Amino acid sequence: MSDRFFPNPMPEFVPETTPSTPQEEQEAVTVTHGDSLSKLLAMPHAPLSQRLKRAALDLKETIVIETWGFTGQQVEDFTLYCGLMGTAFLLFKSYQVTHNANDLTLCSQIVKACDAASVASRDVTFICGRAGVCALGAVVAKHGGDGDSLRYYLSQFEKIKLSKNLPDELLYGRVGFLWACLFLNKHLSEDTIPSTYTRAVVDEIIKNGRAMGRKGICPLMFEWYGEKYWGAAHGLAGIMHVLMDMELKPDELEDVRCTLKYMIRNRFPSGNYPASEEDRKRDALVHWCHGAPGVVLTLVKAAKVFGDKEFVDAAAEAAEVIWNRGLLKRVGICHGISGNAYVFLALYQITGNVKYLYRAKAFACFLLDRAHKLISEGEMHGGDRPYSLFEGKGGMAYLFLDMIDPSLSKFPAYEL
Ligand SMILES: [Zn+2]
Same domain, 345 and 291: no
Distance 268 CA to ligand 1 centre (A): 20
N- to C-terminal Cα distance for the chain?
37
CB 18 within 8 A of CB 29: no
Of the pLDDT bands very low, low, confident and very high (cuts 50, 70, 90), residue 32 is low
Distance 171 CA to ligand 1 centre (A): 11
Same domain, 168 and 289: yes
Q: Residue 130's pLDDT is what?
A: 98
Same domain, 171 and 293: yes
CB 197 within 8 A of CB 157: no
Same domain, 244 and 300: yes
Same domain, 168 and 316: yes
Of the pLDDT bands very low, low, confident and very high (cuts 50, 70, 90), residue 18 is confident
Is residue 169 assigned to a domain?
Answer: yes
Binding residue numbers for Zn(2+): 289, 334-335
pTM: 0.96
Exposure of 145 by Cβ count < 10 A (0-12 exposed, 13-18 middle, 19+ buried)? exposed
Distance 287 CA to ligand 1 centre (A): 6
Q: What is the pLDDT of residues 258-306, one digit of tens each?
A: 999 999 999 999 999 999 999 999 999 999 999 999 999 999 999 999 9
Work out how many domains the chain is built from and give that number: 3
Binding residue numbers: 289, 334-335
Same domain, 152 and 85: yes
The domain containing residue 303 runs over which residues? 162-321
Distance CA 135, CA 222 (A): 26
Distance 141 CA to ligand 1 centre (A): 30
Is residue 12 assigned to a domain?
Answer: no
The type of residue at 314 is A
Considering 269, 294, 321, which residue would you say is the last residue of a domain? Answer: 321
Q: Residue 256's pLDDT is what?
A: 98
Distance 100 CA to ligand 1 centre (A): 31
Whether residue 1 has pLDDT greater than 50: no
Distances (CA, A) of 310 to 3, 121, 257, 286: 33, 42, 11, 21
Q: What is the pLDDT of residues 58-77, one digit of tens each?
A: 999 999 999 999 888 889 99
Distance CA 356, CA 6 (A): 19
Distance 299 CA to ligand 1 centre (A): 19
Is residue 23 assigned to a domain?
Answer: no
Same domain, 360 and 251: no
Is residue 214 assigned to a domain?
Answer: yes
Same domain, 255 and 331: no
* pLDDT > 90 fraction of the chain, expressed in percent and rounded: 92
Same domain, 281 and 396: no
Q: What is the pLDDT of residues 341-396, one digit of tens each?
A: 999 999 999 999 999 999 999 999 999 999 999 999 999 998 889 999 999 999 99
User: Could you tell me the CATH number of the domain that includes residue 208?
Assistant: 1.50.10.10
Which value, to the nearest 10 degrees, does the dihedral of the CA atoms of residues 365, 366, 371, 373 take?
A: 110
Distance 276 CA to ligand 1 centre (A): 14
Distance 216 CA to ligand 1 centre (A): 31
Same domain, 365 and 310: no
Q: 379, 392, 268, 395: which is closest to 320 by C-alpha?
A: 268
Same domain, 80 and 52: no
Same domain, 190 and 244: yes
